[in-house]
Structure 1
Amino acid sequence: MHRGLKPLLALAGVALAAGCAAPSEPQVTFYSHGRSVTVAPAQYCDPTGKNCATSSGNMVGELRVPSREPLQISVPAEVAAAPWQVAFIYRGVNGEELDGRSSVFRPHERFAYTLHLPPDGAQFEHVEVQQFSAVLTPGADGGVDFGIGGSWILDVHQ
């Protein structure tokens, strides 16, 4: 498990305050157990990490995902045109809060992803699609981190 989800979410919040003009706002669809929700971005910036906008629409989706069920995610071409990943928080069977993330998908590599949790009864709590921008920041452990240029957020209910 990678424990860097919370700093990335904080970085996304910093980027929210940096914007001005609004690029178009692609939407991401989350699907599980016969139901779906389409979510506008909580933030969306141009590829340089500038001209950021927050959505006036449904910025946090809600969806019921029963334990042991997968969550399917569909992204439009505007999201898949840049590197993106799925970050998530879930609760293990012992009640411990855990987090993880998918690999980073290269531009135009994928337009959909199915997220599975361990089959032991773990429960999703929060899922975020993160699209990377060209903005680089010094990494906490050396190296560099790419900024989050777009994020689509889902809160999960059991």
Structure 2
Amino acid sequence: MHRGLKTLLAGAGVVLAAGCAAPSEPQVTFYSHGRSVEVAPAQYCNPNGEKCTGSPDAVGKLRVPDGSPLQISVPGKVSETPWQVVFLYRGANGQELDGRSPVFTPNERHAYTLELPPDGVHLEHVEVQQFSAVLTPGADGGVDFGIGGSWVLNVEQQ
């Protein structure tokens, strides 16, 4: 029994060592007015939309003054696939509005500067979305690409 325990522990050590050598999940950096935050993925899947990891609690927080741009930097693992930025903001009348960047093609860019549309006053929520190769029927006919990666930022109030 003692020998079996040694074998089990030795095997566990190999598994732990292999787990430590695994590549880390890509981080997205959000920057505004001299402060930045690196955010882990809320969801991160392989290109086929499988083997997903991440944490729904992985939400960054950053203060972005009203009317100020937000700079977003993505690593190569994100920029080598199609990706976009979606966001929620408040208009001058307090109404909640949403917007999105264009979809960036693979290797087109590693960064994006988000500036609110002319009707926007206060940025509230930002999400970087990485598309996967998974296709689903679209509500309006065509097809929709699945989201394989997601990085979330909540904007703190001033």
Q: TM-score under structure 1 normalisation? A: 0.81
Q: 2:90, 2:120 within 8 Å by CA — same for their partners in 1?
A: no
Q: Render the CA deviation track for 1:30-66: whole Å, top value 9, x for unaligned.
A: 000111000000000000111111249x610000000
Larger radius of gyration: 2
How many positions carry a matched residue from both structures? 136
Question: Which residue is 1:36 aligned to?
Answer: 36
C-alpha separation in 1, matches of 2:97 and 2:128: 17
**C-alpha contact (below 8 Å) 2:27/2:40 kept by paired residues:** yes
Whole-angstrom CA distance in 1 between matches of 2:118 and 2:95? 16
Q: Which runs of 5+ in 1 are unaligned?
A: 1-21
Distance 1:144 1:120 in 2: 31
Task: Determine helix, strand or coil for the equivalent of 1:122.
Answer: strand
Partner of 2:36: helix, strand, or coil? strand
Q: Any conservation in 1 of the 2:89–2:120 contact (CA below 8 Å)?
A: no
Q: Note the C-alpha offset of 1:118.
A: 3.3
Equivalences for 1:45-60 in 2 at 5 Å? 45-55=45-55, 59-60=58-59
With 108-117 and 46-55 compared, the bigger mean Cα shift is at: 46-55
Q: Give the drift of 1:157.
A: 1.5
Cα 1:121/1:150, change in 2 over 3 Å: closer
Give the letter aligned to residue 94 of structure 1: N
Cα distance in structure 1, aligned partners of 2:142 and 2:71: 32
| Distance change in 2, residues 1:116/1:24 (3 Å) | same
Alignment RMSD (CA, Å):
1.7
Which has the larger share of helix? 2
Q: What is the match of residue 152 of structure 1?
A: 151
Instruction: Tell me, in whole angstroms, the C-alpha distance in 1 between the residues paired with 2:150 and 2:133.
Output: 15
**Paired residue for 2:4?**
none
Q: Residue 29 of structure 2 aligns to which amino acid in structure 1?
A: T
Letter in 2 for 1:72: Q
